[in-house]
Structure 1
Amino acid sequence: MSVNETATLNLNDFYTVLRERHSVRAYDPDVKISKEELGEMLELATSAPSSSNLQPWRFLVIDDQKLKEELYPIANNQQQVLDASAVIAVLGDLKSFEQAENIYSSTVKAGFMDEATKTAFVERLNKGYGGMGPEKLHQVNLLDAGLVSMQFMLVAKAKGYDTVPMGGFNPDKFSEAYNLPDTLKPLLLIAVGKAAKPARSTVRLPLEQITYWNKVEKK
């Protein structure tokens, strides 16, 4: 098999994952995912891009049944919270820029950046992000959380699992229940496990209805 044929097969596999990923709300409660496998999926997901590569996402993995039962009312009594193998809470760190030195020192060590460039870049990041207020930082984190969350859901599907993102929860009660510091904001919950029944099919708007070329025109 040629390199091009192998690449085509891999691309077809990727297309299959894209097509078959659906939001699943009915899970088999008997299916458990190991800590090691969940960790592998999260690690793969973190190859997602983020603003200035600051990687502001933090994850709280909730797979203990008792804790899922406590989360259930906070998440508007959504049944998937109880039945899924785990719920991943995606948190945004408002102080993620404080990791810039660590991140870019590792970048230098890996040979991807020289020390002088790193020093100037870190100084600029600390000044820029440090000067943003919490609201602006929160908006940046929301975007980055969306990127890593979508990547996690695709990774999960590629490994044979199902997911559903959940914005329907009380962030204040969540923060209180899990004693989160003020610098960590809950952004999204993702249930992950094995579907108990097929997901409901959905439709998408046609491309010509949502896409403009070069200028925006009334349709």
Structure 2
Amino acid sequence: MNQKNNDFSKIMLERRSVRHYDETFKIPHDEMLEMIQEAITAPSSVNLQPWRFVVVESDEMKAKLKPLIRFNTLQNETSSAMVLIFGDMRCHDRGEEIYDLAVEQGKMPSDVRDEQLAAIIPYYENFSKEKMTSVVTIDASLAAMQFMLVARTHGYETNPIGGFEEDLLAEAVGLDKDQYLPVMIISVGKAMTDGYESSRLDASDVTTFK
């Protein structure tokens, strides 16, 4: 493993949004895959894992991405990669594959797999577009947050980006825009500057006990 920092308090409480990175450094593909593998231990609704990642790292693809990310061009120009996270609106098409794997790994009996798939797949098939959008956005966002924390364990910094042309992003990277919903872009790399500290409301101001 390529982890450099295992102090969870530092990883979480000292996380900052970094916009300027060492543009000469590229994260190796095996380490990027390792980070994504660690990030997708995140939970998802009925374990359908709707997150899909596109790692934009080449000059050619970054140039294609540039007009779609509004005022976030410094991150695009200097980061090791821009990690595009999509939610698969047809994630249930892989339900059988996922549940078969659980059986193969001894994590689920085959009769439980059959029973759950018989309930889950029709349930998802009947979702409205709005409901499916909500489900995959929540699940993909959980993986996105974990990716940012995982990146810090590997010695990198990130910046979550929501300001982009949502209707153009999927097709720009060769995906079907009707199936793949853009959820977030995360820049990642070796920080050249510190991120700004920001203020947070007190927990007592945003919490109600009943």
The bucket for the TM-score relative to the shorter chain is: over 0.9
Tell me whether 1:19 sits opposite 2:6 in the alignment: no
Structure-1 separation of matches of 2:111 and 2:144: 34
Residue 165 of structure 1: which of 155, 160, 163 is its match? Answer: 160
Runs ≥4 in structure 1, deviation > 3 angstroms? Answer: none
Q: 1:77 to 1:207 in 2, by over 3 A?
A: closer
What amino acid does structure 2 have at the position aligned with 1:82? E
Counterpart amino acid of 1:96? C
**Pair 1:60 & 2:54 matched:** yes
Q: Residue deviations 1:59-94, cap 9 Å, x none?
A: 011010221122111001411011100001001111
**1:92 aligns to 2:87 (yes or no):** yes
CA distance in structure 1 between the aligned counterparts of 2:119 and 2:207, rounded to whole angstroms:
36
The Cα of 1:178 is off from its aligned counterpart by: 2.1
Please show how residues 9-158 of structure 1 align to structure 2 within 5 Å. 13-78=7-72, 79-158=74-153
SS in 2 for 1:59: strand
Q: Which moved more, 1:44-53 or 1:28-37?
A: 28-37
- For the pair 1:180 / 2:168, whether they are aligned, the reply is no
Residue number in structure 2 paired with 1:192: 188
Alignment partner, residue 205 of structure 1: 201
User: Which range moves more in the overlay, 141-150 or 76-85?
Assistant: 76-85
* Stretches of structure 2 lacking an aligned partner (at least 5 in a row): 1-5
Displacement of 1:143: 0.3
TM-score, normalisation: structure 2: 0.93
The size of the alignment, in residue pairs, is 203
C-alpha distance in 2 between matches for 1:193 and 1:52: 32
Distance 1:142 1:213 in 2: 27
Provide the rounded CA distance (Å) in 2 between the counterparts of 1:142 and 1:32.
28
TM-superposed CA distance for 1:117, in Å, is 1.1
User: Post-superposition shift, 1:213?
Assistant: 1.2
Over residues 172-193 of structure 1, what are the superposed CA-to-partner deviations in whole Å (9 max), with x where a residue is unaligned? 1212322321211211100000
Q: Deviation at 1:157?
A: 0.6
Structure 1: 5+ residue stretches without partners: 1-11, 215-219
Q: Which has the larger radius of gyration?
A: 1
Aligned equivalents of 1:156 and 1:47: distance in 2?
14
Cα RMSD of the aligned pairs, angstroms, is 1.2
Q: TM-score, normalised by structure 1?
A: 0.89
Query: Which fold has the larger relative contact order, with Cα–Cα distance below 8 Å and residues 6 or more apart in sequence?
Result: 2
Deviation at 1:134, TM superposition (A): 2.0
> Corresponding residue for 2:3?
none
Structure 2 Cα separation of the partners of residues 118 and 177 of structure 1: 37
